[in-house]
Amino acid sequence: MKCLLCRQNFSQNLTLAELLHWLPLLTDQICPHCQQRLVPITTACPECGRAQTSTERCRDCQRWLQAQPQQQLHNQALFIYNALLQDFFKRYKSLGDYRLRHAFNAPCQRWFAQYSADVYIPLPTDEQSFAQRGFNPVVGLYADCVPLTTCLKKRPQLVKQSHKKRQARLQTPQLFEFVGDPTGLNNKKILLLDDIYTTGRTMRHAQTCLKIAVPNCRLNTFTLAR
């Protein structure tokens, strides 16, 4: 195997359990050396999934709660957004290397096996960046792990979230609208998927949009990095 991140050859060390059980084998696309540089999140803020030593609500989320008391998020993230992931997202999203979408399939699949939901909804990209990239990065990341339902649409954006400063990001108005049929989602356990959680603005807008369209559903969110 060639590591998708560092392009070095490596071989996956299989455990006895992996060899013996009858489920399909999860093949790692990342070499052990790069995997060491990934920091998994264990104890985290219950709302945004930020890695911290306590399981209390973090300061950002306390502020969110003051601003919007009835809106509680439940986000879980796999890895801390460090230099390795920064480089990964630069190559995947900015340069547009679509092959990299498989890099985190194995850890995501393990996670989804543990926390399964009824419906998985990826956050959309606006038409302009889809035309430019040729793909939706969130769909690319999770399409091979779980069946995805697309029912959100992103309004055209003048400036990308990642090009704004923190305050400007927080002041971004609602970016999403609900398209399609909400009846199928009633009383379902829904998991909203995104790639990175930074300020929480995007995720909370998506949550609001969904809650308005489908008032009675259980809603959790998941991101690869926090």
By rule CB under 8 A, what string of x and - marks binding of each residue 80-109 to other proteins? -----------x---xxxxx----------
Contact between 67 and 60 under an 8 Å Cβ cutoff? The reply is no
- State yes or no: residue 140 binds other proteins (CB under 8 A): yes
- State yes or no: residue 10 binds other proteins (CB under 8 A): no
What's the Cα-to-Cα distance from 174 to each of 206, 210, 226, rounded to whole Å? 8, 12, 21
Q: Minimum Å distance from CB 11 to other proteins? A: 18
- State yes or no: residue 112 binds other proteins (CB under 8 A): no
Q: Minimum Å distance from CB 189 to other proteins? A: 27
Residue among 10 and 135 whose Cβ is closer to other proteins: 135
Residue among 97 and 118 whose Cβ is closer to other proteins: 97
Contact between 204 and 73 under an 8 Å Cβ cutoff? The reply is yes
What's the Cα-to-Cα distance from 116 to each of 70, 131, 147, 168, 215, rounded to whole Å? 25, 32, 11, 34, 21
- Residues sharing a CB contact under 8 Å with residue 51, sequence separation 6 or more, in sequence order: 39, 41, 42, 43, 44, 80, 226
Residue among 105 and 136 whose Cβ is closer to other proteins: 136
Binding site for other proteins (CB under 8 A): 91, 95-99, 130-131, 133-136, 139-140
